[in-house]
Amino acid sequence: MVTAVDVVVVGAGLSGLVTARRLQQKGLRVRVLEARERVGGRMFSQSLQNGGVVDLGGQWGGASHHRFAALLGELALDTYPSHYDGDGVLHWQGRARQAPLAPGFGESLLFFEPQQLDLPAAELAATLELQRAFAQLVAQVDPRQPWRTADAKRLDRLSVAQWAAERSNHKLARLPLAWLCRVGGSGGFEPWEASILHLAWSQAVAPQAESPEAWLVRGGAGQVPPLLVEALQAGDPDCVQLGQAVVALRQSEGCVTVVTAGGPEYQARAAVVAVPPQLRLAIHLDPPLPAAHRALLQRSPMGAMTKVLAVYARPFWREQGLNGLGIGDRPALELTADSSPPEGQPAVLASFLAGERALRLGALPAQERQQRILDDLVAYWGPEASKPLELIEQPWNAEPWSGGAFTSFVTPGTWTSHARLAAGDQGGPGPAAHGRVHWAGTEMSPRWPGYFEGAIEAGERAAAAVQQL
Ligand SMILES: Cc1cc2nc3c(=O)[nH]c(=O)nc-3n(C[C@H](O)[C@H](O)[C@H](O)COP(=O)(O)OP(=O)(O)OC[C@H]3O[C@@H](n4cnc5c(N)ncnc54)[C@H](O)[C@@H]3O)c2cc1C
């Protein structure tokens, strides 16, 4: 049986749902086909045993995330500022250092007031110098066509780790860049897995300096996808179809035929594929993608990331004048953040096992891994952290329809070769549309790729493009 619609959207994550919403608002008939038996992809909440919810995927919005804020307004959802009142803790080489946060990321050592960290003067000076050098590089990157950045080829063949090692032999100096690779917004890779050009590009288009973790959604960000579905279904009850993995997209004159694993087929004037880049490789395209595009996808792995949520009876750290922001070189957790609402209930510390740690610790028996997680929570926040009411782990690399988190990155050398070729001379940074098949998904956004904001912008751009067909 073949269903005819105007546009088929592949993937009911935030990006695909926003694409569909904008198209439906223009009066087009849309089908969103989702492989999982749930919507939301990387935007997904879980209820807690004693009430309240936690986000197993993304949770924060940023100071300049205007599209995300506007969408929440459309859906009548409220936000509240993230809790940063009080001191945080930097854990470095076995010692916890309590310190206030700096006014801006640019003047900080990983958010902290550098002079308050009680670090050896030479190490601190070397760290700040390396950060300045990196900031200069970020300012020089061409955000749309990174391959046009001055000295791009060399910078793209040099890993983040090599670039840092060439400049400093102080271990502390290398911490901020390694931390950005693993747990910063682009996240999930080790400093030897991506080039310094890639890291600089990621900070040029999604700057930590613009405070992407400024606020949270009351009731959880995971409410957004079901609300979008509700609105889509009000316009067309069949609009969103679950359990329909798209396996093939065939283009013939003026038409795309969409084939799903379970059998149903759809015909549309256009298709928007809103899935993480590597998952596009699992969809058979006829005509096939250009070789450079396929090569780019093969070199765009997802980050390795497990999100950890520790739920407590009360936010005990706040009672001690602490804000829950823990950063450091611990063996398991390199970041913890207070993710409780202003009233402190449920009291939640969100945290991550990132990069190699996610895979290495992920392979341990659950009890042993959880003990290591608790050891690190105690190292940051003291003995009370050892007894959470709930300890929730969400290993994103075990999710076949995500493949990892937070987002994809590209391997060294890719920007200046495969990505440049896939984009064509005038395009970038992502590859061009393939006939009537367009690309959405957060990774396709020119601003804030990897974030909710990017997912929305990519969806809105794809919707605008396919309306013309
Ligand atoms: C742990 C974690 C923390 C994060 N933190 C933040 C944060 O605090 N703030 C922020 O802004 N962002 C954050 N992010 C990133 C944010 O969640 C994502 O950028 C955003 O949700 C991506 O949306 P998307 O629609 O582009 O992709 P996805 O959410 O990945 O959606 C893609 C959808 O396509 C489906 N799919 C895949 N293949 C097929 C197929 N062949 N056929 C049909 N369907 C298919 C998938 O099942 C999925 O539902 C975080 C992500 C994670 C995982």
* DSSP structure string for 197-260: HHHHHHHHHS-GGG-TTSEEETT-GGGHHHHHHHHHHHH-TTSEESS--EEEEEEETTEEEEEE
**Residue 63 one-letter amino acid:** A
Q: How many domains does one find in the chain?
A: 1
Helix axes 224-235, 14-25, angle to 10 degrees: 30
In a domain, 444, yes or no: yes
Please state the pTM of the whole predicted model.
0.98
Q: Which domain holds residue 282?
A: 2-42+221-287+434-467
In a domain? residue 17: yes
Is residue 33 lining ligand 1, measured as CB closer than 6 Å?
A: yes
Distance from Cα 350 to the centre of ligand 1, integer Å? 18
Q: pLDDT confidence of 84, banded at 50, 70, 90?
A: very high
Q: pLDDT tens digit string along 134-168?
A: 999 999 999 999 999 999 999 999 999 999 999 99
pLDDT in tens, 304-329: 999 999 999 999 999 999 999 999 99
Q: What is the pLDDT of residue 427?
A: 87
Rounded mean pLDDT, 170-183: 97
Q: Does pLDDT of 112 surpass 80?
A: yes
In a domain, 168, yes or no: no
Cis bond before residue 429 (omega within 30° of 0): yes
pLDDT score of 265: 96
- Is 151 within the bounds of a domain? no
Compute the distance from residue 103 Cα to the ligand 1 centre, in Å: 31
What distance in angstroms lies between residue 41's CA and the mean position of ligand 1's atoms? 4
- The residues that bridge with 408 in the sheet, in sequence order, are 302
* Ligand 1 midpoint to CA 40 (Å): 7
How far is the centre of ligand 1, averaged over its atoms, from the C-alpha of 355 (Å)?
18
Q: Cα(358)–Cα(345) distance, rounded to whole angstroms?
A: 28
| Distance (Å, whole) CA 362 – CA 306 | 8
Place of tokens 């782990």: 393
In the sheet with 265-268, reading across from the earlier edge strand, the strands are 2-4, 265-268, 255-260, 246-252, 284-286
Q: Is the pLDDT of residue 60 over 80?
A: yes
175 within a domain of the structure (yes/no): no
- Report the atom number in ligand 1 closest to the C-alpha of 405: 53
Site to probe by mutation for ligand 1, drawn from 38, 297, 406 as the one with most ligand atoms within 8 Å of Cβ, is 406
Ligand 1 pocket test, candidate residues 275, 283, 394, most atoms within 8 A of CB: 275
Greatest mean pLDDT among 32-36, 103-107, 464-468 lies in 32-36
pLDDT classification of 187: cutoffs 50, 70, 90: confident
The enclosing domain of 276 has a CATH number of 3.50.50.60
Atom of ligand 1 nearest to the CA of 247: 41
Residue 14: CB within 6 Å of ligand 1?
Answer: yes
- Is 392 inside any structural domain? no
